[in-house]
Amino acid sequence: MLHECFLIGWNVHGYEFSGKYKVINNKFMICEMRMYLTSLLAILFALLFSSCSSYKIVSTPKGDFIQSPDCKLRMTRAGSPKDNYQYIIFYNVTDRYELSVNNLNNAIAWSGNTDYFASDDKDHAQIADKIDVHKMKKAISRSTLPLSINAQAITTPAYKSATLDSNSIYFIQFDYNNLLSPGTSLEIDNNFKSLSRNLYQEISSNEDEHGFKWAVTLSQNLVGKIWEEIPIPQTSSLYRYYYNKNDNNSTIVLDPSFTLKVDQVRKVLNDNKNGYYYLKIGDYDVNFSRNEMGFSVQNKLVSRDGPSPRPNNHFADNTYLISSFSDIQNSEELKKRPYIVLFDPLIKRNSKPQSDTGLYNNLPGDDQTISIGNSVLLNLMATEFSTLDFSAITSPAKYINSVFGLRSPVKLEITVYINSEPFRVQLNSTIKDIQNRLPEKIQLYRKFGKGYEKVAGDLSNLILLPNDQIKFSL
């Protein structure tokens, strides 16, 4: 006997699904009925899937933390981790940029209470076991592993790390007791700020523009992946880009996921013809990507080392004028400097208060002070970048730098997607900043590895990241 039946249920993300099912000879006896999970089952189901298959925002007395879908080191609502350490192994880290970036998604992460840098051979063998899970072609010998770690260890208050197997494996151990001490939200944020700086400096010191070590700018991808894996305070989200702000300026490492919106301005002679001021007349977008070696380019079809004539875009001293990243790609001086840092004064100044007229006069010295009221790109070698403390930068003049004009501030934007439609927001925007465009109930999905995972929790203060997916029912 053939019956037609109707079944309603839920999938792992909590959405309702339905469909008709045929039953033969009464072997499947669900006919004309609805099946609902009990309250207890629903709670267990939500705990099972939302805590370990999604990002989760955990509100604590020490601030809001976002933890990764892997749940390797979960935060309690009291603001303390369930384990002391989070560990990550990156392998096949090489001088080939694209290959190394792709391999980051195969990182092995776990948590525990063992200090691998102060352990016996048995504990060190556990690291080899983790590496063997992915069947390394050159497995680390357990007998030599402790010596390799101790000989190449980098130690900071927040983490310890080592490069292994001729530098192709990077092992890192985060100490959350230290990261969450002394305990106020501001102090913890500063701890993660220092963690970002130390990681960038250490990793970039292993890079080399000539390809003898790791690929250049790989530190950006490695720190980004680390920030994806470990629990971080919400306020520390932009430290993945080495963001720093003080009372005078802000600095951030430019990422290919950013769009630079550049002000177009016109220099205008005042009515008395004794000084100048600047008027904004529009803006334009600038984007860039990275080539197979990790260098910044606008056009991957054009070789950095081709014989074509190079533009003479040198302006004065260490400063070069550019209109796009094509000028960086084709400049003999700029193209060899892979790290590009946006240096931004916090106050735009079109006037000169100390002058009699209150305006910049027509003296070349005044007009060529490119760091007053202007955004400046610091163009840095990996060797320079690895020793640079952003908090100590007061002026861009001592570094090779480039500008889009003498008064051309830059605003950074990122692209997020609202129901699959691209939407641009300023970097450091939150869900709350675009709430007027959204209904009350939304879902947000964030990149994790090669796919996307749902973000569970209070989204209102979530700092948006490039390619975040916002979804809701119309």
Q: What structural domains and CATH numbers belong to the chain? A: 2-52 (no CATH), 55-236 (no CATH), 249-408 (no CATH), 413-471 (3.10.20)
Q: By percentage, how much of the chain surpasses pLDDT 90?
A: 42
DSSP symbol at 367: H
| For residue 114, pLDDT beyond 70 | yes
Pairing mode of beta strands 451-456, 55-60? parallel
Pairing mode of beta strands 469-471, 410-418? parallel
User: What is the value of pTM for the model shown?
Assistant: 0.81
Query: CA-CA distance, 254 to 227, in Å (whole number)?
Result: 17
Per residue in 119-136, pLDDT (tens digit) is: 666 677 777 777 666 444
Q: Do 431 and 439 contact (CB within 8 A), yes or no?
A: no
Average pLDDT, the chain: 79
Per residue in 190-200, pLDDT (tens digit) is: 999 999 999 99
Per residue in 198-229, pLDDT (tens digit) is: 999 999 998 986 656 899 999 999 999 999 99
Q: By percentage, how much of the chain surpasses pLDDT 70?
A: 72
Return the structure tokens found at 151. 């000989």
**SS3 state at 277:** strand
Residue 60 pLDDT class (50, 70, 90 cuts): confident
Burial class (CB in 10 A: 0-12, 13-18, 19+), 340: buried
Return the structure tokens found at 106. 């195969």
* Residue 126: per-residue pLDDT: 75
* Ranges 34-48, 62-76, 278-292, 318-332: which has the least confidence: 34-48
Q: Do 404 and 261 contact (CB within 8 A), yes or no?
A: no
For residue 469, list its beta bridge partners. Answer: 417, 445
* Residue 303: per-residue pLDDT: 63
First vs last C-alpha separation in the chain = 42
Residue 370 pLDDT class (50, 70, 90 cuts): low
Average pLDDT of span 333-344:
93
Query: CA-CA distance, 437 to 416, in Å (whole number)?
Result: 13
| For residue 155, pLDDT beyond 60 | yes
Strand residues in 209-309 grouped as ranges (E): 232-233, 244-245, 249-253, 259-269, 276-286, 289-290, 296-297
> Which is higher by pLDDT, 272 or 312?
272
| For residue 23, pLDDT beyond 70 | no
Per residue in 415-456, pLDDT (tens digit) is: 999 999 999 999 999 999 999 999 989 999 999 988 999 999
| For residue 110, pLDDT beyond 90 | no
Query: CA-CA distance, 264 to 404, in Å (whole number)?
Result: 9
